[in-house]
Chain A
């Protein structure tokens, strides 16, 4: 351990010697060159703060949908994923994402935000990319909830913010090979249905597959059982926080307040959420004769995830259609995964994984040719239904395939290797008692001791 610290400080000293003349750390020159920039800076930062607040939303949805005995554990995981992501993404991850492109595969530069990166523009971009990286990382905790060791979650967060997220994001947003595909305008993912949500959803799916279902999720003859969450108020509050945060996530992705298209993006974002919620509510009513709030909350989030890729390139009616289909996919996904023996306690895979892919594909269908690649100038993104031909759709399908391969493949390897080395699942005794006591020593509600434990069928 001591050798590690010596090495660590040696690297820091080397970095210190390697001072390149900074570009514009005060922002004076940047402002003189373009006096209109403060609007953009404030817009992007405020939207970034909203995206950060989504961490609270995820924390509340996940704890609400899980049981009392794992509340402290879930809250801790939601804290450390943003903490670890902040530090790792600052040190290395951002360099892999936005550094100078190497062969279309990875970026190189901006390490520790030093040297040429010590610039207001780069710091602005870093902050924006960081909150997205944190969102991708935090999605996974829901899919692996109530049984993954805290230590395994720490290691997972390290690798996802170091490599899995930044490299894939480089392919799409860092000028990598997916952005350069020779179909349509290349793979287009406006605010990250694929980059953020499908990556999170697919890595979560990998984790849930390696872990296996929670104790009690299936009867002896393999029939799935409900494991009710402990607090619908928190789940609903979390969903509203996420919905609110999405008004930063999507409109902020123009990366400019001077693109008044932000109004269109905001409307589309909201409509897809509403359509997703409404359709889910109706399907569940038809299927179970009940107005199922839990599933409707998932449907809301599914609509938001799906519209994240196309939100800047579509008309309002298309957002409604995309959100409605997202609602269908959420319900279908939840029952399908359950029937395959995959236990996803909060529905993260159906909401973020499956709808992330649908969002990518929907760009190739509904993009209406009125807005470019984060630009008011042509070429405009145009899909199949607006006379753009199948080119854009191909680029979207290739991206959807890649994000599945990359997220599910690397995620599976990561969780499997950890499982072989130190075991990623808590002991059966600990799982029954809940992770709060053994892992953290802190029950979430120490004054409440009576739990309803006699659940059957």
Chain B
């Protein structure tokens, strides 16, 4: 199994969640996060003076994928959220050792 940490623009969240559901992964955790990448921060202005917001708001989704689906899901997410502009986000992939479904005690991929 593989955990995908998907960092995306706030406005792309629904699209990713719908896509994952279609691909058979309704279970997803998401966080509102602030961070920065190549895009840098934002410049805002208050009563005539500009100031920098060094971190931008993004959404981080975490989803765990069965081994065979990994490439397919990752590629589909990339296709869905890519605009080609700086700030599209990133996907980090980590191997997952095991999963336990707390209600039944099931383990492994069938607990996903």
A residues lining the B interface (CB < 8 Å) = 65, 224-229, 284, 287-288, 290, 292, 294-295, 298, 331, 334-335, 338, 347, 452, 454-457
Encode B20-59 as 1/0 by CB contact (under 8 A) with A.
Answer: 0000000000000010000001001111111111110000
Interface size class for chain B?
Answer: 10 to 19
Within B45-90, the residues touching A (CB, 8 Å) are 45-55
Provide the residues of chain A in CB contact with B51, threshold 8 Å: 225-226, 228, 455-457
Nearest neighbor of A280 in chain B, beta-carbon distance: B48
Is the CB–CB distance between A455 and B53 below 8 Å? yes
Question: A298: which of B34, B47, B53 is its contact (CB, 8 Å)?
Answer: B47
Question: A288: which of B41, B45, B54, B55 is its contact (CB, 8 Å)?
Answer: B45
Provide the residues of chain B in CB contact with A335, threshold 8 Å: 48
Question: B47: which of A287, A347, A452, A455 is its contact (CB, 8 Å)?
Answer: A347
**How far in angstroms is the closest Cβ of chain A from B25?**
29
Nearest neighbor of A228 in chain B, beta-carbon distance: B46
**How far in angstroms is the closest Cβ of chain A from B1?**
33
Nearest neighbor of A293 in chain B, beta-carbon distance: B47
Question: A224: which of B49, B52, B55 is its contact (CB, 8 Å)?
Answer: B49
Question: A226: which of B45, B54, B55 is its contact (CB, 8 Å)?
Answer: B45
- Known pairs A284-B48, A334-B48, A454-B55 / 8 extra A-B pairs, C-beta < 8 Å: A224-B49, A226-B46, A226-B51, A292-B45, A292-B48, A295-B47, A331-B48, A455-B52
**How far in angstroms is the closest Cβ of chain B from A411?**
23
The docked-state distance in angstroms from the alpha carbon of A225 to that of B44 is 12
**How far in angstroms is the closest Cβ of chain A from B30?**
16
Nearest neighbor of B55 in chain A, beta-carbon distance: A454
- Given known A-B contacts A454-B54, A454-B55, A456-B54, A225 and B47 have beta carbons under 8 A apart: no
Provide the residues of chain B in CB contact with A338, threshold 8 Å: 49
- Of the A-B pairs whose beta carbons lie under 8 Å apart in the complex, a sample of 30, sorted by A's number, is A65-B47, A225-B49, A226-B44, A226-B45, A226-B49, A226-B51, A227-B46, A228-B44, A228-B46, A228-B51, A229-B46, A229-B47, A284-B48, A288-B45, A288-B48, A290-B45, A292-B45, A292-B48, A294-B47, A294-B48, A295-B47, A295-B48, A298-B47, A331-B48, A347-B47, A452-B53, A455-B52, A456-B41, A456-B52, A456-B54
Provide the residues of chain B in CB contact with A227, threshold 8 Å: 46
**How far in angstroms is the closest Cβ of chain B from A293?**
9
The docked-state distance in angstroms from the alpha carbon of A224 to that of B54 is 18
Provide the residues of chain A in CB contact with B46, threshold 8 Å: 226-229, 294
Provide the residues of chain A in CB contact with B49, threshold 8 Å: 224-226, 338
The docked-state distance in angstroms from the alpha carbon of A289 to that of B41 is 19
The docked-state distance in angstroms from the alpha carbon of A227 to that of B50 is 10
The docked-state distance in angstroms from the alpha carbon of A212 to that of B87 is 40
Nearest neighbor of B34 in chain A, beta-carbon distance: A454
The docked-state distance in angstroms from the alpha carbon of A145 to that of B33 is 32
Among B44, B48, B52, the most chain A Cβ lie within 10 Å of the Cβ of: B48
Provide the residues of chain B in CB contact with A452, threshold 8 Å: 53
Nearest neighbor of B46 in chain A, beta-carbon distance: A228
**How far in angstroms is the closest Cβ of chain B from A316?**
29
Nearest neighbor of B41 in chain A, beta-carbon distance: A456
The docked-state distance in angstroms from the alpha carbon of A455 to that of B41 is 10
Nearest neighbor of B47 in chain A, beta-carbon distance: A294
The docked-state distance in angstroms from the alpha carbon of A456 to that of B47 is 16
Q: Which 7 A-B pairs have the closest CB atoms?
A: A294-B47, A226-B49, A228-B46, A226-B51, A457-B52, A226-B46, A295-B48
Nearest neighbor of A229 in chain B, beta-carbon distance: B46
Nearest neighbor of B32 in chain A, beta-carbon distance: A450
Provide the residues of chain A in CB contact with B45, threshold 8 Å: 226, 288, 290, 292
Provide the residues of chain A in CB contact with B44, threshold 8 Å: 226, 228
Is the CB–CB distance between B52 and A287 below 8 Å? no
**How far in angstroms is the closest Cβ of chain A from B111?**
33
Provide the residues of chain A in CB contact with B47, threshold 8 Å: 65, 226, 229, 292, 294-295, 298, 334, 347
**How far in angstroms is the closest Cβ of chain B from A308?**
22
The docked-state distance in angstroms from the alpha carbon of A454 to that of B50 is 15
Nearest neighbor of B49 in chain A, beta-carbon distance: A226
**How far in angstroms is the closest Cβ of chain A from B21?**
28
Nearest neighbor of A287 in chain B, beta-carbon distance: B48
Provide the residues of chain B in CB contact with A65, threshold 8 Å: 47
The docked-state distance in angstroms from the alpha carbon of A327 to that of B41 is 32
**How far in angstroms is the closest Cβ of chain A from B76?**
32
**How far in angstroms is the closest Cβ of chain A from B62?**
20
Provide the residues of chain A in CB contact with B52, threshold 8 Å: 455-457
**How far in angstroms is the closest Cβ of chain B from A53?**
24
The docked-state distance in angstroms from the alpha carbon of A20 to that of B78 is 89
- Given known A-B contacts A226-B45, A228-B44, A288 and B50 have beta carbons under 8 A apart: yes
The docked-state distance in angstroms from the alpha carbon of A227 to that of B52 is 11
Provide the residues of chain A in CB contact with B50, threshold 8 Å: 226, 288
The docked-state distance in angstroms from the alpha carbon of A287 to that of B50 is 11
Provide the residues of chain B in CB contact with A225, threshold 8 Å: 49, 51
The docked-state distance in angstroms from the alpha carbon of A228 to that of B44 is 9
Provide the residues of chain A in CB contact with B41, threshold 8 Å: 456
